[in-house]
Amino acid sequence: MNTFFENKNIVVTGGAGFLGNFVIDGLKKRGCKHILVPKIEEYDLVKIEDINRMYEDMDPDIVIHLAAVVGGIGANRDHPGEFFYKNLMMGVQLIEQARLRSLEKFVAIGTVCAYPKFTPVPFKEQDIWNGYPEETNAPYGLAKKMLLVQSQAYREEYGFNSIFLLPVNLYGPGDNFKPESSHVIPALIKKCIDAMDNNLDYIECWGTGSASREFIYAADAAEGILMAAEHYNGSEPINIGAGFEISIKDLVEKIAKLTGFTGEIRWDSSKPDGQPRRMLDVSRAKEYFGFEAKTSFDEGLKATIDWYRENKTA
């Protein structure tokens, strides 16, 4: 077992969240003894005074910045200003204060939403600047993409070791199932199971079903992030994904089958599809630090469905 994390102070912003739980579990498995999570009740990381207090209290060697204000298409459409401001201010100020304190490393987590709307599939990291992101999530995606600009500029001018990772859509046990802010997989699982619980013979889905997406199991994404934190010290952005693509129509049918929902699937084409296609080229992560996603999609979906059934409130 590599001892890279063992005696370092590791701050994980967003460590109490969905992905954060898997990252912390991965750190513990690697023997990390000093894992620190700034809770939102104690530190509002949009505010510079709280960021400074967090750094003084926690004295990290490495920051893994997972915290984000995020949601599905509906939430992005309703809160473009909030999503832009809070994500930008959190990331930019955390990196600046990390540089001023000469931290060993900063791991900035971006988003697949940073890619241009019509990126050729599979998305290669070098295509990230070749166009404007899909409109419904552009403010969020651009705010996150500024952390790539900052990471590269700070490495060039100050020699500061900040890396930038681009995870694709996450899913897994412990995901957010709130209808107002959930992403597509938990939203569909909830719709199917709730429909069966309430004896409904149909579910309604946004868009046309023609858009495609790639998904990575959250435990796999956490492993990719930790492998990058341990082994990668470069300026190039790195995709963290599973390297497959599925249409939303096929996804709905797969989730219906796995949950046992046999009713009608109705499409509301007045609602947006979002970005037409999404699938990452994942070769750079494999080449640079040996990361490959391990969990099959059906296996991951079954685990997520089982978790929701066990944890949903009546």
Amino acid at 135: E
Whether the Cβ atoms of residue 304 and residue 182 lie closer than 8 Å to each other: no
CA–CA separation, 69 vs 249, rounded Å? 27
Known catalytic residue at 140? yes
CA–CA separation, 210 vs 234, rounded Å? 36
Distance between alpha carbon 312 and the CA centroid of its chain, in Å? 23
Kind of pairing between the strands at 162-167 and 105-109: parallel
The length of the chain is 314
CA–CA separation, 198 vs 16, rounded Å? 32
CA–CA separation, 231 vs 197, rounded Å? 47
Query: Can you spell out the DSSP letters for 169-198?
Result: EEE-TT----TTT--HHHHHHHHHHHHHHT
Active-site position among 140, 154, 171, 217: 140
Please identify every residue annotated as catalytic: 140
